[in-house]
Structure 1
């Protein structure tokens, strides 16, 4: 009898050990797999059991939380949702997150280990920490000026502080209210399908995720390549450029919308936006040096984050001489985001140094204690200071005496470059109107802001001046807010 009891006790002990081992396996080694299982609702319920952290603009929250009373308790709310949607993105219980809500989701949802004093203890006890706050670099006055300037047009604005790379404005229109997507009821699904089916594509962030042919604004990059390579040593010297210009290896003649482009010096060609001069320069500089200069400005970079992902701007690396010539005037397959062209303008304004753009100034916990400063990545020298100064002078000339006059601000030094980008089959689409610029207060040595504006449905003709007519006034409003 005693022997049977001993065997039973030993067997029971083995069963208990097996149970404990299996529990340990599930709790320690399989926790991530079970947690990621779509059938496991505990993680989703825990995610929404407390308010989400805030996204702040100039210290003021532009996001909040609402108690729905349901199992997924707290839903996201937005203040001035359409104004800040290109910055915040959406946080939806049904469709996930986007843009800054996605890039900083760990902080905002409370799951980032930086929010805990002892992360290992919180993991062991399954403690859900309060969400932290993300402080953006956005200037509300500049954001509003850009949004109101675009109005009902399809387009985008990106503005950067040249010295630091801080993104001061990020606007895409038409926009949408991300609050419509916050919950999980039928209205959210209906809003999602309506917004995605809309012809103007309001959920597309045109400032970060859409690339456009940059047209004549790319001539800033070509001018930099010409000066840095030694192809041009004097911006006031004749360039030996015919008008029209026969594209190398073809029978195609490239003309100009402006007069007086034959053999025009670089400075005059920049002001008048002579296609022939810049196309010839691009072909003479050659593919390797043009690609190298474009890359130094940020083109062909698939890893750009601010921390929201940015679509890579394109400058082809395999082209013949005629295609290089067209690419040098911002056509062929050359394509850029508005943020990329703001980076080009900011580099010139900052003496040839590029400060990588960033949208986050700092991150704080629920008590307001800073847990991380914004990324301070080192600047890099893209072009020499002398080259930068020469291009600055040419951009100032465009605003003072050329097609950028509508960007001028009294008492402020403004440099700019207009552009009209043709697109579509046989270039029959409505040209995109571009304007890139920078502004510096008269009593300051540092530029206050660099701006890029693109308008898709500009009411303008195909002349280069359309960028000055449709896009320059928007840039002027943003720059005026910056130097006010």
Structure 2
């Protein structure tokens, strides 16, 4: 063989070896990656080749499957889609999956290896899809959704004893079934949803963090009673708080919403009862941001890894503040941010005598025959405060309902505690304030529920925005549904 021919032969041999190496790499080391790639059409063909499993509420499916007559043989359907969308998310042949549909996609499409039976493996058959059982209480979900109808807002209800999520409401909502398929109508529905200025596809209950306003005063009060017992030995000790409170290092004073409220030197109980800004600005400066940060983080702030199992948005207590900002942060303003889920967690821990249970939306996964393949027992998240401090805060919150800013939340036959609030929105409060209401209720059998609700009603007159009048009825309806 002459030299040029030998060089060509070597070159071709190298190319053959490269192709063989590449094929080996793909088949043996990258097979799983390509098999699960959402852009691989075989993934979608397999996923929608049979009816999907269901997401259950109170043991009944709120999802389903329908034949399409296309290559993707089945598509997802939803019962009361807008009602449960903040929980289920969507499963779309084009746009993928979110929320529980996404987290448990392998269970719902039958590809989870725990679903396979020996016969399935032998016949190389895709197992029957499994189901996802949620902790949601349909009565509470419907009550919250009805109360928020026509408003922009959200609400979350928790069982303080277990951490079970009883309700996740976000309005305005959307119908996930409108774009579950791959027809032109589905694409048009998706584009309309994406362009909607009201953003119905945003999960306001779990993924939108806003200024918490006065409900954050519960966290500050918890820090004061826990970390400054010498200055604040109990909920009924008078504080040394001028009204209005001069913000340190500035010529500005922090006023109260009601100038006639008895806020000067008020006790923590009275300060919560009348939502006295001066007291909590003073308390925040006295306790200090480091202690308040530690308390806030025990309640769930400053983590971006809260999975219930869908990952929640981050709630923030800021650091590195000057004294004036520290005081403003003490009333839930400055750079404080919280989701309704986070504020429900604060109330839940207080209602549960200081123990915060980790929120959970799913209690069981089952196979196609209803047999459990995984159970999710309640787990403790933290112990932010002692039982004594928690009961003091419970007592103060009950005072808010009996004779303070939350009297509208009184429910015959139930013990109710609450904290109302409004939070400034926009630069120099240029936007309509947010109305907040956090509460808990207990019946005579000892069953409890904790609720946080927010209304972001952009078309409301500023003078009409209050936590008690706008967000309070939402929480009250959900507490009644849970316990009556």
Q: TM-score, normalised by structure 2?
A: 0.91
- Shifted more, 30-39 versus 135-144: the winner is 30-39
- Shifted more, 201-210 versus 224-233: the winner is 224-233
CA distance in 1, matches of 2:21, 2:318: 58
- Map Cα deviations across residues 242-295 of structure 1 (whole Å, 9 max, x no partner): 011111111111111122211111111110000000011001111110110100
Q: What is the number of residues matched between the two proteins?
A: 462
Instruction: Report 1:393-412 matches (<5 A).
Output: 393-412=395-414
- Map Cα deviations across residues 116-143 of structure 1 (whole Å, 9 max, x no partner): 2469x84x97532221000100000000
Instruction: Report 1:201-212 matches (<5 A).
Output: 201-212=199-210
CA distance in 1, matches of 2:244, 2:171: 38
Q: Which runs of 5+ in 2 are unaligned?
A: 1-18
- Shifted more, 180-189 versus 372-381: the winner is 372-381
Are 1:241 and 2:254 matched, yes or no?
Answer: no
The equivalent of 1:182 in structure 2 is 180
SS at match of 2:308: coil
Q: Which runs of 5+ in 1 are unaligned?
A: 1-18
State which of 328, 342, 365 in structure 2 corresponds to 1:326.
328
Deviation at 1:382, TM superposition (A): 1.1
The equivalent of 1:302 in structure 2 is 304
The equivalent of 1:154 in structure 2 is 152
Deviation at 1:361, TM superposition (A): 1.4
The equivalent of 1:266 in structure 2 is 268
The equivalent of 2:340 in structure 1 is 338
Q: In 2 relative to 1, CA 251–126 (structure 1 residues): closer, same or farther, beyond 3 Å?
A: farther
CA distance in 2, matches of 1:439, 1:414: 4
Are 1:478 and 2:478 matched, yes or no?
Answer: yes
State which of 371, 374, 388 in structure 2 corresponds to 1:372.
374
Are 1:170 and 2:168 matched, yes or no?
Answer: yes
The equivalent of 1:279 in structure 2 is 281
Are 1:41 and 2:45 matched, yes or no?
Answer: no
Answer whether contact 1:431 1:462 (CA < 8 A) is retained.
Answer: no
Instruction: Report 1:51-130 matches (<5 A).
Output: 51-117=51-117, 122=121, 126-130=124-128
CA distance in 1, matches of 2:37, 2:445: 57
Answer whether contact 1:420 1:462 (CA < 8 A) is retained.
Answer: no
CA distance in 1, matches of 2:172, 2:102: 21
The equivalent of 1:253 in structure 2 is 253
State which of 351, 354, 357 in structure 1 corresponds to 2:353.
351
The equivalent of 2:3 in structure 1 is none
Answer whether contact 1:208 1:338 (CA < 8 A) is retained.
Answer: yes
Q: In 2 relative to 1, CA 238–371 (structure 1 residues): closer, same or farther, beyond 3 Å?
A: same
Q: In 2 relative to 1, CA 30–425 (structure 1 residues): closer, same or farther, beyond 3 Å?
A: closer
Answer whether contact 1:460 1:466 (CA < 8 A) is retained.
Answer: no
Deviation at 1:22, TM superposition (A): 9.4
SS at match of 2:425: coil
The equivalent of 1:361 in structure 2 is 363
- Shifted more, 238-247 versus 88-97: the winner is 238-247
CA distance in 2, matches of 1:37, 1:131: 20
SS at match of 2:360: coil
Answer whether contact 2:157 2:168 (CA < 8 A) is retained.
Answer: yes
The equivalent of 1:145 in structure 2 is 143
CA distance in 2, matches of 1:452, 1:88: 20
Deviation at 1:375, TM superposition (A): 4.6
The equivalent of 1:194 in structure 2 is 192
CA distance in 1, matches of 2:39, 2:152: 41
The equivalent of 2:7 in structure 1 is none
- Shifted more, 25-34 versus 312-321: the winner is 25-34
State which of 317, 320, 323 in structure 2 corresponds to 1:315.
317
CA distance in 2, matches of 1:462, 1:289: 35
Q: In 2 relative to 1, CA 460–73 (structure 1 residues): closer, same or farther, beyond 3 Å?
A: same
CA distance in 2, matches of 1:38, 1:304: 26
- Shifted more, 32-41 versus 290-299: the winner is 32-41
Deviation at 1:88, TM superposition (A): 0.3
Q: In 2 relative to 1, CA 336–94 (structure 1 residues): closer, same or farther, beyond 3 Å?
A: same
CA distance in 1, matches of 2:169, 2:39: 38
Q: TM-score, normalised by structure 1?
A: 0.91
Q: In 2 relative to 1, CA 385–39 (structure 1 residues): closer, same or farther, beyond 3 Å?
A: closer
Deviation at 1:31, TM superposition (A): 2.0
The equivalent of 2:449 in structure 1 is 449
SS at match of 1:336: coil
Answer whether contact 2:438 2:453 (CA < 8 A) is retained.
Answer: yes
SS at match of 1:422: strand
Deviation at 1:461, TM superposition (A): 4.2
CA distance in 1, matches of 2:345, 2:297: 12
The equivalent of 2:4 in structure 1 is none
The equivalent of 2:420 in structure 1 is 418
CA distance in 2, matches of 1:33, 1:269: 57
Q: In 2 relative to 1, CA 39–104 (structure 1 residues): closer, same or farther, beyond 3 Å?
A: closer
CA distance in 2, matches of 1:360, 1:39: 29
SS at match of 1:189: helix
Deviation at 1:36, TM superposition (A): 4.9
